[in-house]
Structure 1
């Protein structure tokens, strides 16, 4: 008989370890080397990702119908469409997430002496 308790315990401890917050170290080279252009790009990419995930959740409940609706093709198309919606929404800058991320990255650079 298989001891599933050991597997569950191992998975739970792995999950707990993955949820521990990480604090940037003073030697973090990735933060120090970012130019303003790179910071803008990273911030906008993060906003696009966040908005895409939000839209994905919103659209997950929409049912497809009709003789041509549904299927694997629509799942793939919808995924790509949602990613593009997220990118366009981030370009508009109406959410303000990119601005907040940009400010935090700049603060991290100041803390690290750049």
Structure 2
């Protein structure tokens, strides 16, 4: 019987212990780390009330959708400019796991 990790086939770009990280893999890991920090920051900013001014955008059906887009974009800009350092920590953790096998 196969255990869970070995039951999942590795994709063409998967890193295995006998294949070192390539430049494209490195870029993909960094992008994933920044995306994760973006999601984290968007949730934190939403919880803090960013994007919910007392009068909002004047109300209406689309206000919530556009508010979430605004918060997401602000979170992305924060993450891409260094953010809170979460992306770098995640990236280093992912690199360590791929190098260790």
Q: Same fold (TM over 0.5)?
A: yes
CA, structure 1 residues 103+37, in 2 after alignment: closer, same or farther (shift >3 Å)? same
User: Between Structure 1 and Structure 2, whose CA radius of gyration is higher?
Assistant: 1
Which residue of structure 1 lines up, in the alignment, with residue 37 of structure 2? 47
CA distance in 2, matches of 1:40, 1:61: 28
Q: Which protein is richer in helix relative to its size?
A: 1
Match of residue 10 from structure 1: none
TM-score by length of 1: 0.63
Residues 7-57 of structure 1 show CA distances to partners (whole Å, capped at 9, x for unaligned) of: xxxxxxxxxxxxxxxxx9478746627611111111111111110111111
Match of 2:81 in 1: 92
Contact 2:33–2:88 (Cα < 8 Å) also in 1:
yes
Matched, 1:105 2:100: no
Unaligned runs of 5+ in 2: none
Contact 2:51 2:67 survives alignment (8 Å): no
Q: What displacement does 1:63 show? A: 5.3
- Give the match for residue 32 of structure 1: 15
**Offset of residue 65 of structure 1:** 2.9
Residue segments in structure 1 that go unaligned for 5+ positions in a row: 1-23
